[in-house]
Amino acid sequence: MLTRPQSIRHAADHRPEPATRAAALREQICCNQDLSFLMEAHDGLSSAVAERAGFKGLWASGLSIASSLGYRDASEASWTQLVDAVERMVDSTSLPMLVDGDSGFGNFNNARILARKLRQRGAAGVALEDKQFPKMNSFIGDRHPLADTNEFSGRLRAVKDAVGDELVLVARIEALIAGHGMDEALHRAHAYANAGADA
């Protein structure tokens, strides 16, 4: 019978529970007064490399995951492909992972399903950007159409209702990069905080 050498340990053998990962990410994002960095990753290998390099958390980049699958960062990769990639990443590291959930892949129902599946696969958090679906990468073109503030707040509330504090919810405000100005960004920030976003 073949066995693994004792010196090699598989990440899944020491994987923290999802609630533990979410608590670790929440500590980094919401409670830590020191500057903290999340390293971009898009597959199991890049996740393991980031952990070995000493990073304390991962950013599961939608751009990088889509690119690794041969797609543009324009909602071409499906939410199921994203969730599958996240599962492989979670299996390769013990670090908490914040997942780029794009705009939630549709309306509040889609965002809620995405969040539940990410929690089941071991993600620690999800970031949703306040764009319409399908979305385009923020650095391509200008004046991207943003989601209605009330509608996006509903997406956030649906996610919070579905996963509670078991997944850190980050609302990514696109108003500035879309050229709408600081007043619009602050208006959206207050609305999203009231809707339950953690950050």
Return d(Cα 51, Cα 58) in angstroms, integer.
8
Q: Are 152 and 184 in contact (CB under 8 A)?
A: no
Which residues are 86's β-sheet partners? none
Q: Are 25 and 98 in contact (CB under 8 A)?
A: yes
Question: What CA–CA distances, in Å, run from 197 to 76, 153, 180?
Answer: 26, 9, 21
Selected catalytic residue, list 73, 102, 130, 198: 73
Return d(Cα 61, Cα 51) in angstroms, integer.
16
73 is a catalytic site residue: yes
Return d(Cα 41, Cα 64) in angstroms, integer.
7
Return d(Cα 167, Cα 27) in angstroms, integer.
12
DSSP state of 164: G
Q: Are 60 and 86 in contact (CB under 8 A)?
A: yes
Return d(Cα 152, Cα 48) in angstroms, integer.
34
Annotated catalytic residues are 73
